[in-house]
């Protein structure tokens, strides 16, 4: 998904923008760090997680005791997964770059370490 495709998808997303935020790959695309991503990962607050559960979306509990939801074929939503704070890009809530680095350090996968390097390189050009 490109930036325009993500924006189009989020503009159709029927939930309050105060209740969710984009994380990982989709956030990197909105920042302009990556050209595209395979899916949209989000964090959400308890209010939205309760609504998703009530609406019958597939979910399971993570090791932290929060819920993970699958919404359609290409959106995954993680309850209460937020490191740092949320900012906005094109009116879409996204995790801060610092928060994304912290999140990817926690994950620690090879692809996350590569993403951290991309984010840090992007941040150098931002000063």
Distance of CA 102 to the CA centre of its chain: 13
As a dihedral over the C-alpha atoms of residue 101, residue 103, residue 104, residue 108, rounded to 10 degrees, the angle is 130
CA 10 from centroid of its chain's CA atoms: 12
Domains and CATH numbers, the chain: 3-122 (3.30.460.40)
Which pLDDT tens digit goes with each residue over 88-121? 999 999 999 999 999 999 888 999 999 999 999 9
Task: Give per-residue pLDDT as tens, 40-91.
Answer: 999 999 999 999 999 999 999 999 899 999 998 899 999 999 989 999 999 9
Q: Indicate the burial class of 126 (C-beta count within 10 angstroms; 0-12, 13-18, 19 or more).
A: exposed
């Amino acid at each position: 998904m490109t930036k325009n495709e993500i924006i189009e998808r989020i503009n159709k997303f029927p939930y309050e923008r105060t209740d969710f935020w984009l994380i990982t790959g989709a956030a990197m695309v909105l920042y302009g760090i990556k050209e595209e991503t395979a899916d949209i990962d989000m964090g959400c607050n308890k209010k939205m997680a309760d609504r998703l559960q009530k609406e019958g979306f597939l979910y399971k509990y993570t090791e932290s005791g929060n819920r993970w939801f699958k919404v359609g074929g290409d959106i995954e939503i993680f309850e209460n997964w937020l490191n740092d704070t949320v900012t906005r890009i094109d009116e879409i809530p996204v995790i801060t770059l610092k928060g994304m680095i912290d999140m990817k350090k926690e994950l620690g996968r090879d692809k996350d370490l590569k993403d951290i390097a991309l984010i840090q390189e992007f941040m150098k050009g931002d000063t």
